[in-house]
C-alpha cells in the first residue's frame, strides 16, 4: 500500500503555495507509506505529483517516486503492484527504453510511452496511478480492473486534485467539507457509497476499470477500459472434475503472482475457507515457512458466549411468550 496525491492547475491563477498544499495532502496519508516520500513540480508549476512509499519491489532509492522516463517528459505517481512487469520489460528494452530500476513503476512509464492510455490493457495487477504527459499537456488517472486501489478526485478553482484517500483531498485549503445528500442517501440505503459518489459534495471516486484524462482546457474524459463480461461465451456444460481442476489452476496462478515481493510475505488467517485456501496454496508455492497472523478483540470470548446464550434461550422460548432479552420498554 502506497499513497498518491497531486494537482493539475489547468485554469486557475498561479499560486506560490501549490507545492506546499500538495505536500500537506501527501502527508495526511503518511500511514500509507512510511518508507519514503516524494514530491515533483513541473517547471511551469502547474503540475504537482506526490507519493508516500511502502517498499515492496526494489527497496533501493531507485524506486523513489514520483518517477520519470529517460528525458523527464513523462512522470508517474503509482500505488499498487504490476505482476507482469518483468514480462513487459524485454519488449520495452527492445524498443530502446532504458531502465534505471527493477521496479514495476518504471515499466508502466515506458509502456505508456509505447501505447498511451491503452497501456492499461497490458497491465496485470492492482493499481491507482497518475501519469503527467508533458508533450501532450494532459494528466491521466486510472484505477485497476476490480478497484482494489482507491482513487478520489475533485475539481476546484481551476484545478484537478486527486488522492488515494478523501482525507488527502480535505488537507487542501480549497476543498470544502460539505455533505453530499445523494451520497448520504446511498449510504443509508445500501450501507456503502458506490462509485462515483462519496459522502462529500464535489468529491468523486474514480470507478474501477476506468481512466480519466484531463487536458489543458480542463476537459475531463472518463471511460471504461475493461469489462468483466468476457468477449467469448462461457461453455454451456463442463465435467465436474474438469471444472474443479480449472478453478484450482486459476486460483493457484492468482496466488503465485501475488507472492512477488522483495520483503517477507505473510498472510492474515481467519480460519475461513477463503483465507485457508490462499494459505494452503501459498505454502505449496513458497520455499520457506509462511508466517500467518490472526486478529482478536479483547472481550470477544465473553461477547460470543452472550450471543450464544441469547440465541439458545430464544430457540427454546414457548411460542408467544415474551423474550426476557428484550428491553421492557420495547415489549
C-alpha cell at 312: 439458545
Choose the catalytic residue: 2, 119, 214, 311.
2
CA 12 and chain centroid, separation: 29
Cα–Cα distance between 182 and 201 in angstroms, integer? 9
Q: Are 91 and 107 in contact (CB under 8 A)?
A: no
Cα–Cα distance between 105 and 64 in angstroms, integer? 10
Q: Which own/partner contact pairs does 173-182 have at CB distance under 8 Å and 24+ positions apart?
A: 173/21, 174/21, 175/202, 175/203, 176/201, 176/202, 178/202
Q: Which residue, 3, 7, 126, is CA-closest to 65? A: 3
Q: Are 70 and 121 in contact (CB under 8 A)?
A: no
2 is catalytic: yes
Place of cell 488527502: 168
**Sequence-distant (≥ 6) Cβ neighbours of residue 74 within 8 angstroms:** 68, 109, 112, 113, 131, 132, 133, 134, 135
Cα–Cα distance between 155 and 158 in angstroms, integer? 7
239, HSE (Cβ side, Cα atoms, 13 Å): 3
Cα–Cα distance between 51 and 66 in angstroms, integer? 6
3-state SS of the chain: helix, strand, coil percent to 5?
Answer: 35, 25, 45
Residues pairing with 74 in the sheet: 133
C-alpha cell at 21: 498544499
Cα–Cα distance between 80 and 180 in angstroms, integer? 29
Write out the catalytic residue numbers: 2
Amino acid at each position: 500500500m502506497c499513497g498518491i496525491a497531486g494537482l493539475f492547475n489547468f485554469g486557475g491563477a498561479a499560486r506560490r503555495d501549490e507545492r506546499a498544499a500538495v505536500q500537506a495532502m501527501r502527508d495526511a496519508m503518511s500511514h500509507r507509506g512510511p518508507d519514503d516520500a516524494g514530491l515533483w513540480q513541473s517547471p511551469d508549476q502547474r503540475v504537482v505529483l506526490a507519493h508516500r512509499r511502502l517498499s515492496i519491489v526494489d527497496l533501493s532509492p531507485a524506486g523513489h517516486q514520483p518517477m520519470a522516463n529517460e528525458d523527464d517528459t513523462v512522470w508517474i505517481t503509482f500505488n499498487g503492484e504490476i505482476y507482469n512487469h518483468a514480462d513487459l520489460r524485454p519488449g520495452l528494452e527492445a524498443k530502446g527504453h532504458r531502465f534505471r530500476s527493477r521496479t514495476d513503476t518504471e515499466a508502466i512509464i515506458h509502456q505508456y510511452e509505447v501505447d498511451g492510455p491503452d497501456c492499461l490493457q497490458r497491465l496485470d495487477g492492482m493499481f491507482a496511478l497518475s501519469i503527467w504527459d508533458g508533450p501532450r499537456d494532459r494528466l491521466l488517472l486510472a484505477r485497476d480492473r476490480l478497484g482494489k486501489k482507491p482513487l478520489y478526485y475533485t475539481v476546484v478553482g481551476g484545478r484537478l486534485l486527486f488522492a488515494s484517500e478523501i482525507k488527502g483531498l480535505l488537507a487542501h485549503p480549497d476543498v470544502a467539507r460539505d455533505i453530499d445528500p445523494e451520497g448520504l442517501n446511498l449510504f443509508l440505503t445500501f450501507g456503502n457509497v458506490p462509485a462515483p459518489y462519496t459522502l462529500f459534495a464535489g468529491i468523486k471516486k474514480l470507478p474501477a476499470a476506468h481512466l480519466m484524462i484531463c487536458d489543458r482546457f480542463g476537459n475531463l474524459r472518463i471511460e471504461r477500459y475493461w469489462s468483466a463480461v468476457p468477449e467469448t461465451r462461457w461453455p454451456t456444460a463442463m465435467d465436474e472434475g474438469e471444472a474443479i481442476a480449472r478453478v484450482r489452476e486459476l486460483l493457484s496462478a492468482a496466488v503465485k503472482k501475488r507472492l512477488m515481493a522483495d520483503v517477507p510475505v505473510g498472510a492474515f488467517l481467519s480460519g475461513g475457507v477463503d483465507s485457508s485456501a490462499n494459505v494452503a496454496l501459498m505454502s505449496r508455492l513458497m520455499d520457506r515457512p509462511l508466517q500467518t497472523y490472526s486478529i482478536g478483540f479483547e472481550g470477544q470470548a465473553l461477547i460470543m458466549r452472550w450471543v450464544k446464550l441469547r440465541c439458545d434461550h430464544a430457540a427454546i422460548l414457548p411460542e408467544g411468550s415474551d423474550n426476557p432479552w428484550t428491553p421492557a420498554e420495547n415489549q
